[in-house]
Structure 1
């Protein structure tokens, strides 16, 4: 059900268990639709039931597991439609954020984004793919302009959805072609923001970069989910 027993620090046990289980979900250590046994997991991890239960409740709040009274706890099975809805929501958040961020973007912000995109390219070119670092850089890229919105809730909403996508069960298959496409789209986003062209910025964020149908072929391979 789970991989080798990790070591946890007592101070933040619940959060560490939460993050550990998210990683197990992302790497298919726990399979979609699988029933989770509190007793077995607690024995395998060498922890008590309470922090494990708390972590699972946190996972339920993140939409990753279902807790069914008198039936058990199950890892939610995601479909391609879930992925589409997540991408559509990210696109709407970015479009709304850009309404005010576009007038606050500076050459310094764009320079930061250029640097981040170059770092992302280095990871995509590397033989050993550092996915966690890649995702952190990608998040930082988007947060540059999301943080400029006058609505402080939008970056938080964006991150909540983005985390769901990051921790969805996947086939762990990332293609260079998809990486290169995303890098190219980042460059067009930077150009649009540099020109403070709202229409163009929305096109390259919502209309291209976060367009589910444009990236659907890659997503089918990467997420390995059904079409329901």
Structure 2
């Protein structure tokens, strides 16, 4: 039960940061959050520790917890590395992909399309994470998967913003289609290249938006 409550607290806080309820630099007050989400103080503190380890918040001595600010330059570096690693994960996975994996990816894409039509952005983001995670899992490289996971967590809080950019969702789905088509045909290099371009473009669009809207 304790782990379930901790996970609930973690998901509530992570979603609040991801979708902009808590802004970068904003103080996270335990009492207020406990009342807002009807969470106990113990699971809340455990969730805050996890979010601190994952880079969502900073805990400052005698000041409390704050949503971590990530500079545009840092985010640019994250996407540069992420593009290389995710492309490698796809290339490594393609040779081991069977019809079951392909069907899983196709199902995820259909769910993403449905979520986009319904403007269910949380579902869309969850499904998008699943799409990328499939390649990491099939690559069977725990070090690679861990590195990608750590970097992707640093981008989570900005993904809600990205969905508000006109045309961004359509471009995402188009990129995924190219990746999946190449993977289905067993073209590892082409699929990996498509993933690298996808991550690079997603990063470029988001970074451009943040530079044009520095108050976000």
Into which bin does the TM-score normalised by the smaller protein fall? 0.7 to 0.9
Distance 1:140 1:171, change over 3 A: closer
1:94 maps to 2:86: yes
Cα deviations by residue, 1:1-54 (Å, 9 ceiling, x for unpaired): xxxxxxxx8663333222222222223322221233334444555655443332
Name the SS for the 2:155 alignment partner.
helix
Alpha-carbon contact 1:102-1:198 (below 8 Å) kept: yes
| Structure 2, gaps ≥5 residues long | none
Specify which of 28, 31, 34 is matched with residue 26 of structure 2. 34
Name the SS for the 1:66 alignment partner.
strand
CA distance in 1, matches of 2:182, 2:111: 20
Alpha-carbon contact 2:2-2:43 (below 8 Å) kept: no
* Residue number in structure 2 paired with 1:211: 200
| Structure 1, gaps ≥5 residues long | 1-8
* Residue number in structure 1 paired with 2:8: 16
* Residue number in structure 2 paired with 1:105: 97
Cα deviations by residue, 1:64-113 (Å, 9 ceiling, x for unpaired): 11112233322111232233233233323223323432321234433432
Distance 1:35 1:136, change over 3 A: closer
Specify which of 62, 74, 96 is matched with residue 82 of structure 1. 74
Of 95-104 and 52-61, more deviation after overlay is shown by 95-104
1:60 maps to 2:52: yes
CA distance in 2, matches of 1:172, 1:150: 30
User: Matched residue pairs, number?
Assistant: 215
* Residue number in structure 2 paired with 1:189: 179
What is the TM-score when the length of structure 1 is the normalising length? 0.76
The structure whose residues are more often helix, as a share, is 2
Distance 1:108 1:160, change over 3 A: same
